[in-house]
Structure 1
Amino acid sequence: MNTRSFLGVTAHFTYNGQLTSAMLGAYEFSTSHTAEHLKDKLKDVCEEWGIALSKITAIVTDNGPNIVKAVDLFLGKIFHLACCAHTLNLIAERSIKSVEGIVELLQNVRTIVTWFPTRWNSTFYMIERFILLRGDVNEIVNNYVSAPAMITSKEIEELRSIAEILRPLEAATAELCGEKYVTASTVIPLINGIQHECSKLSPTHDSAFKLRQAVLSEIEYRFGQVESVHFFAIACLLDPRFKKLHFKNPLACSRAITQIKENMRMIAHKKTENLPEESGANGESKNSVTAEEKPGFSVWNVHHGLVKKVQSQKNDSFLDSDSVTEELNMFLKSPITPFKSDPIRT
C-alpha cells in the first residue's frame, strides 16, 4: 500500500482582540522526514505567507524527535512547545498498556463495538458509551450466534473504575483543544487538577488501582517540570484567573516573575517606536473562555477551591511587594477574577 505524507501548518494569532486560527496549508512530503527537511519546509511556509520570524512566539508540535529537532534548527529549542493534548493522550495510552489485563478487557469491548456498524475513536468515550448502552448491546448480541461474547457484570464494574480514572485526562484534553479561548495559561492549573482528581479516587479493582498509579507516575514524568517551562509559567502568572495560585515550586514561580519583569523593561524601552497595539471592542466576549463542563464532574474543582482559600487571606500575604515592579506587584496582589471571565479582555 502506498502512503503519502503531509505536514500541516496552522497559525494562531489575535485579530481585533479575538483569538483566530488559520490553516496555512497541508504540504506533501516527497522527501524523507528528516529534521533538516522539516526545518526547510517551516522556513518556506513563513516566506510564503510573509511571516516575520520575530512575530513567532512558539511552535507547537507532537513529541516526534524529528519535528522537535526541526524547530530547534529553525528558531531554537526555546521556541518549541510539545502539544499538551498529545502528551495527555500518550499518558493514557502508556498507562493502560502498563497494567496487565486492561488491554485485554478493552480489546473485548472493542470487538463488540466494531461488530456493530459504528466505532468510537477514543478509549474513554468507547467505555463511557458502552456502559451506557450495555443493556441494549447485551440484548442484541445474545440474539446472534455470530456475535462476540458479552462483557460480564464484574468487568462492567471494572470498566466504570477505569473510566473514572481516564475522565480527568479527557476533560483536560477537551480544555486544551479549544481555539476560541486561551489555553497556554491553563496548562499548569489543568495538570494540578488532573493530579488532584486522580489522587482522590479510591478504586476497588486491582487493575484500576494500578492504572491510577500509572497515570500519576506518567504525569509526574511528563509534566513534573511544567512550572519551569517559561511559556506556561508566564502565561499562568499573567492570567488574572490564576496568577500564583497553582504554583507548587516557589523557585519556578520566582523565575517566571523575573522573566516578566525583564520583558516589561524591554517593552518600555521600545515605547519610543510607538508601535500600535491591538485592542478589541469593549464589552464582554461572546466566546466561551473554557470548554463546556459536564454536570457532576469538573477538572477545575481544585482551582475553585484555591480561589476560595486565597480570597479568605489578606492580599498583603499574597506577594512580597519588593519582589516585582510596582505595576506587576499591583496586578498580582489584585483579586482573582471570576473563572468564566475572559483573560484577554479583563
Structure 2
Amino acid sequence: MKPAVDKVKAIVEFFHRSTTATHKLKSTQQQMGMPELKLKQECITRWNSTFHMLKRILESKDAVISTLAVINAPVDPLSHEEWEVLQQACTVLEPFEQVTVEISADSHVTASKMLILCKGLQRVTAEHQTRVTTGKVKELVDALCASMDRKFHRMEYNAVLSETTILDPRFKKLVFNDNRAVDEALQRITAAARSSQPTPLPGNQEGEEAEEDEQKEQQASAVWRFFEERANRDTTRRNPSADVILEVRSYIDEPLCQRSADPLSWWETKAYTYPRLTQVMTRRLCIVATSVPSERIFSKTGQIMNDRRNRISSSKLRHLIFLNANLSVN
C-alpha cells in the first residue's frame, strides 16, 4: 500500500504549500455542495494520523480529483484501483482507530477494557478476510491478524489485565475464554485481599465519637454484658480467610453493571460490603500507560509558544502549560 499512501502524502503536501490550490479546492467543494474540509497531514509519532489523512482525502475525493485536473498540479494522481484500495483500507483500520481513542483516555478506567477490545479487534479484522476484494488490502488484513494472534494469544494470563478485568463490575469473568486464567486471577485477588487490612472510610468525626461513647456505655451496662460476651466469642471463632473467600464469591455473584456505568462509583457504594476487595481494587483499576497525554501537552505547547509569543520566559511557559493541561482535565 506504500505507493498509494505516498501519493496521498504528496497531494496533501502540495495543497498545504500552495495557497492557490487550497482556494481552488475550497471553491470546488462549494460548487459540488460538499463540506469545506481541509486535507490533513500525517504525524510520524501517531499511526492514526495516517488513517485520518486517508479518510479526509476520501471524503473530498471528487473535489480533489477535479482541482488537480483543473490546475494541472505537478503530482501523480491516484488511479481508480488506488482509490478503491484506500477506501477498503480505511474500512479495515476504522476499528483500530476507535480502540486507540478508547484506550488513550486518561479520565476514566481503561485497563479493564483491554481484553475485550483486543478480542473484538481480532474478530472484526478476521471478518474482513472474506470481505476485501483487493490483494493489497488482503495482505494488510493478513498481516494484522497474524500480528494480533502473536501478541494477544496469552493476554488472559497477564496478571494486571486479568485482575483488573475481574475487578471491574461491568465485565468480571464474562470476558475470559480460559477458565484456568480466571481461576489463577481469582487466587491472586483472594491472596491480596487476605493480606490487606480494610481501612475505615472517612465519616463524621463527631458522630463516630458519639458512637464510641455509646458503645462504652453499653459495655459498662450489666444488661448488655451477656450480649457482649457472645459477640466477642463469635468474633474470635471467625476465620479471616473464610471471610475473604465469601467476600470474593459474593462479589462474583453480583449482577453485572451496565457497560456505560462508572466502575469506581460502583465500588464507592459497595465499600462497606466488600471492604477487603475495595482495598485491592484501588491498586488494580487503572488506565493504560500511553504516550498520548504527553503528546497532547506537546501540541498545546506549540500553540502557546508560537511566532507571535516567542519571548515568553521558560518559567511562565511551564506555568501556562501546567494550567492548560490540568484545567482542561477538570
Question: Which TM-score tier does this pair reach, normalised by the shorter chain?
Answer: 0.5 to 0.7
> Which has more helix, going by share of residues?
2
Structure-1 residue corresponding to 2:285: none
Is 1:125–2:52 an aligned residue pair? Answer: yes
Native 8 Å contact 1:192 1:246 kept in 2 = no
CA distance in 1, matches of 2:96, 2:202: 35
| Per-residue deviation, residues 218-240 of structure 1 (Å, max 9, x unmatched) | 11222222111111110111111
Q: TM-score, normalised by structure 2?
A: 0.56
Aligned with 1:157 (options 69, 84, 88): 84
Residue 108 (1) aligns with residue 28 (2): no
| SS of the residue 2:259 aligns to | coil
| Greater C-alpha radius of gyration | 2
Identify the match of residue 344 of structure 1 among 260, 264, 271: 264
Q: Please state if 1:222 is matched with 2:151.
A: yes
Q: Which structure dedicates a bigger proportion of its chain to strand?
A: 1
Q: Is the 8 A contact 2:41 2:50 kept in 1?
A: no
Distance 1:158 1:243 in 2: 40
Q: Write the distance in 2 (CA, Å) between the matches of 1:184 and 1:137.
A: 41
For residues 333 and 222 of structure 1, the distance between their equivalents in structure 2, rounded to whole angstroms, comes to 32
Which letter maps to 2:136?
S
Partners of 1:226 and 1:163 lie apart in 2 by 27
Q: Take 2:202 and 2:170, find their aligned partners in 1: how far apart are those partners?
A: 22
Match of 1:171 among 98, 117, 122: 98
Partner of 2:220: none
Change beyond 3 A, Cα 1:129–1:277: farther
Q: Residue 209 of structure 1 aligns with which residue?
A: 138
Q: Distance in 2 between matches of 1:215 and 1:124?
A: 15
| Paired-residue identity, % | 25
Matched, 1:138 2:65: yes
Q: Give 1:331 shift.
A: 1.7
> What secondary structure, in the 3-state scheme, does the structure 1 residue paired with 2:265 have?
coil
Query: Does structure 2 retain, via aligned residues, the 8 Å contact 1:112–1:147?
Result: no
Q: CA deviation at 1:278?
A: 7.8
**What is the deviation of 1:253?**
1.7
CA RMSD of aligned residues (A): 2.0
Residue 308 of structure 2 corresponds to none
Amino acid at match of 2:41: R
In the alignment, which residue of structure 1 is the partner of 2:195?
266
The one-letter code matched in structure 2 to 1:196 is R
Aligned length: 197
CA distance in 2, matches of 1:277, 1:184: 26
How far apart, CA to CA, are the structure 1 residues paired with 2:73 and 2:139?
Answer: 34
Corresponding residue SS for 1:244? coil
User: 1:168, 1:136 → 2: CA distance?
Assistant: 27
- Give the Cα separation in 2 of the matches to 1:157 and 1:197: 20
How far does residue 192 in structure 1 lie from its aligned partner after superposition? 1.0
One of 160, 163, 171 as aligned partner of 1:231 = 160
Deviation of residue 258 (structure 1)? 0.7
Q: CA deviation at 1:164?
A: 1.5
2:120 pairs with 1:193: yes
- Tell me if the contact between 2:111 and 2:165 (Cα under 8 Å) persists in the aligned partners: yes
How far 1:277 moved relative to its partner?
5.4
User: Which residue does 1:247 correspond to in 2?
Assistant: 176
Find the residue that maps to 2:186 and give its secondary structure: helix
| Distance in 2 between residues matched to 1:255 and 1:148, nearest whole Å | 58
Provide the rounded CA distance (Å) in 2 between the counterparts of 1:345 and 1:265: 23
Does 2:245 match 1:325? yes
CA distance in 1, matches of 2:118, 2:201: 32
Amino acid at match of 2:160: F
Give the unaligned 5+ runs of structure 2: 17-39, 44-48, 204-241, 267-330
**Counterpart-to-counterpart distance in 1, 2:252 and 2:152:** 25
CA contact (8 A) 1:233 1:253 kept: yes
For 2:54 and 2:10, the matched residues in 1 are separated by 12
1:54-83 per-position Cα deviation (integer Å, ceiling 9, x unaligned) = xxxxxxxxxxxxxxxxxxxxxxxxxxxxxx
Once residues 113 and 187 of structure 2 are traced to their aligned partners in structure 1, the CA distance between those partners, rounded to angstroms, is 20
Map residues 291-306 of structure 1 onto 2, 5 A cutoff. none
Instruction: Tell me, in whole angstroms, the C-alpha distance in 1 between the residues paired with 2:61 and 2:140.
Output: 23
Distance 1:110 1:277, change over 3 A: farther
Distance 2:15 2:66 in 1: 13
> 1:141·1:149 contact (CA, 8 Å) conserved in 2?
no
Q: Residue 145 of structure 1: CA displacement? A: 2.9
Query: How many angstroms apart in 2 are the aligned matches of 1:189 and 1:175?
Result: 12
Amino acid at match of 2:151: R
